[in-house]
Amino acid sequence: MTALGALIRRDIRIALRVGGGALIGVLFFLTVTVLMPFAVGPDLALLSRLGPAILWLGALLASLLTLDRLFTADHEDGSLDLIVMSRTPLELACAAKALAHWLAAGLPLIVATPALGLLLNLDGTATLAVALTLLAGTPALTFTGMIGAALAVTLHRGGLLLAVLVLPLSIPVLIFGVAASQAAISGPVSFGTPFSILCALSLVSLVIGPFAAAASLRHGLD
């Protein structure tokens, strides 16, 4: 337990330090969101209708952008080999790393959501709904993305390959995240139905992600 705690603390500290790059995700999120009104036009009614989708898309891309850092730096300086060889089960270590990554890179996105909601003309309920669905859904993005990050680091290929592998897996999260936010704002469906499926997706990825990532690290690093 102490080993996992130490791993989480270390990862967060590295991510927040200069060169860690956790907060660059938030900056990217902000930039993507600001770009959208230029593309679709500054019509406030339209923006408030598209708002949840724009915020979800921005968060998805921002979390994809930072995924590369999950294993690459540790692989470069050799500490990933130490983690693989240590007595702590690799699955738990992967889960701890993903949790640390989510705390450092995912939570700031949710904190930034209300400010970005203002830019997109979302009212209080809508902003709250989007923030809540992001809170429930971004762990799923991190934990499924971790599989792609582990594959990419064992193949020494990052970037586009990672995106191509991870994005299809994150489509269900996007569907139910946006569906839940829309349901809270206008939809005929009650908020609970898509939201509970979103939570279920997060829980499933919480189980599958660490096992798949640990398997690919174990088989891939030699």
| Binding residues vs other proteins (CB under 8 A) | 144, 147, 150-151, 154-155, 157, 161, 164-165, 167-169, 171-172, 175, 204, 208, 212, 215-216, 219-220
State which residue, 120 or 213, has the beta carbon closest to other proteins: 213
State which residue, 10 or 218, has the beta carbon closest to other proteins: 218
* Residue 21: CB minimum distance to other proteins, A: 24
3-state secondary structure of 71: coil
Closest CA to 141 of 78, 85, 69, 64: 64
Longest dimension (CA), the chain: 57
Task: Say how far residue 190 (Cα) sits from the centre of its chain.
Answer: 25
* Residue 165: CB minimum distance to other proteins, A: 5
* Residue 60: CB minimum distance to other proteins, A: 15
* Residue 152: CB minimum distance to other proteins, A: 9
Contact between 25 and 63 under an 8 Å Cβ cutoff? The reply is yes
State which residue, 23 or 165, has the beta carbon closest to other proteins: 165
State which residue, 107 or 204, has the beta carbon closest to other proteins: 204
Question: DSSP letter at 103?
Answer: I
C-alpha distances in Å from residue 146, one per residue of 101, 158, 165, 198, 213: 10, 12, 11, 18, 6
